[in-house]
Amino acid sequence: MKILYTLTTLLLFSFAGAQDKQPYQLYNAKGKKTTYKKLLETAEEADVVLFGEHHDDALIHWLELELTKDLSEKKKLVMGAEMIEADNQDELDSYLNGAINQKAFDTLARLWNNHKTDYKPLVDFAKSKNIKFIATNVPRRYASMVYKKGFGVLDSLPAAEKEWIAPLPIAYDATLPGYIKMLEMMGGHGGDNLPKAQAVKDATMAHFIAKNLEKGSVFIHYNGTYHSDNYEGINWYLKREKPQVKIITIAAVTQADIMNLEKEHLNKADFILVVDEDMTKTY
């Protein structure tokens, strides 16, 4: 009778486990499963958290907000994002301090089409808690100029406009795997200037993060995962500017099976966020 009871119990637990669903799983760089609690504890000890995202993933946007809220209860924060460009900092500040409303902010700043669903919650949280929020990205027109004509075109900009870009000349390593992969993915279209346009974004985001670091605070930054994957991009430039800065990176990936990290994603970041490929997209 005891054996029958034990078998029945095991079968019930097995059935329940098979029915259990979760939309994401966190892993460390070596591919070992880890927890949100561990991510939060590690983030508390960092100077900078680079949260790599997929721009259209509803779950990732939710987790960005949750991590930000939880981290704010333990450390003073500075927030920043790729999704707002440096020349819109005044408009962002005006919204944060209540000088303009959301409609005016939408009109005056070049906000992404998915701002209201995906990034407004982050900005509004900063506003509600009086947290500094930094517009870190290079104005897109300058990245476009670099794509067409290379880094040299930036030298001709007025001094006031150069304030919205990382200090010139932009350091650049064409041998970084991420930039090489970009060229390969595009089949050579765009030529050598394509990764340079990416690099001016990475360099500028790193510059504004470094410029706004505050002792005893954590700077949490939201960016496309490709801007910080494999410890390159923003991470590479930030380490050049601030060698002693302690950076924690989060990379986002999607898989059909979230319970086993695919080998291609190993060592992509300190924490690898695997989201079910069926997760709702915001656009």
Domain ranges of the chain: 23-276
Residue 189 is predicted with a pLDDT of 66
The CB density around residue 197, as the number of other CB atoms within 10 Å, is: 21
**Residue in the block written with tokens 């200037």:** 193
Measure CA of the first residue to CA of the last residue in the chain; give whole Å. Answer: 56
User: What does the pLDDT profile of the chain (283 residues) look like in tens digits?
Assistant: 444 444 444 334 333 444 578 999 999 999 999 999 999 999 999 999 999 999 999 999 999 999 999 999 999 999 999 999 999 999 999 999 999 999 999 999 999 999 999 999 999 999 999 999 999 999 999 999 999 999 999 999 999 999 999 999 999 999 999 999 998 887 766 688 999 999 999 999 999 999 999 999 999 999 999 999 999 999 999 999 999 999 999 999 999 999 999 999 999 999 999 999 999 999 9
Integer Cα distance of 243 and 247 in angstroms:
10
The reported pTM is 0.92
What's the CATH number for 23-276? 3.40.50.11550
The answer to whether the CB of 262 falls within 8 A of the CB of 255 is: yes
The CB density around residue 112, as the number of other CB atoms within 10 Å, is: 15
Residue 190 is predicted with a pLDDT of 64
Integer Cα distance of 219 and 233 in angstroms:
17
